[in-house]
Amino acid sequence: MPEPQVVKAGDVTQRVGVEVISKRGVDVPKLIKILIANAAAEFASTYYYYTILRMHLEDRAHWELIVPRIYELGGELPNDLKAFHDGAGCVAAKLPNPPTVVNILTLLLESERCAIRSWSEVCDMTFGKDPRTYDMASRILNEEVEHEAWFIELLAHERDGKIVPSGHFRRGDPGHAPYSKNAGFYNP
Nearest-5° Cα angle at 36, 30 to 42: 140
- pLDDT above 90 covers a percentage of the chain that reads 41
The tens digit of pLDDT for each residue in 105-120 reads 898 888 889 999 999 9
Element spanning 24, H or E: none
DSSP 56: -
**Which residue has better confidence, 80 or 6?**
80
121, exposed or middle or buried, with CB in 10 Å at 0-12, 13-18, 19+? middle
C-alpha span between 129 and 91 (Å, rounded) = 29
Predicted confidence (pLDDT) at residue 146 exceeds the cutoff of 70 = yes
Q: Which of the residue ranges 104-113, 161-170, 173-182 would you say has the lowest mean pLDDT? A: 173-182
Predicted confidence (pLDDT) at residue 34 exceeds the cutoff of 80? yes
Q: Is pLDDT at 186 greater than 90 in this prediction?
A: no
CA dist., res. 178 & res. 174, Å (int): 11
The predicted structure's pLDDT at residue 167: 79
Using 50, 70 and 90 to split pLDDT, how confident is the model at 175?
low
Residue 51 pLDDT greater than 60, yes or no: no
- Compute the mean pLDDT over every residue in the chain, rounded to the nearest whole number: 82
The DSSP secondary-structure symbol of 137 reads: H
Question: What is the C-alpha separation between 100 and 118, in angstroms, rounded?
Answer: 27
Residue 98: cis peptide before it, omega within 30 degrees of 0: yes
Computed on alpha carbons and rounded to an integer, the radius of gyration of the chain in Å comes to 18
Measured torsion, CA atoms of residues 96, 117, 154, 54, in degrees rounded to the nearest 10: -60
Residue type, 36: I
How large a percentage of the chain has pLDDT more than 70? Answer: 78
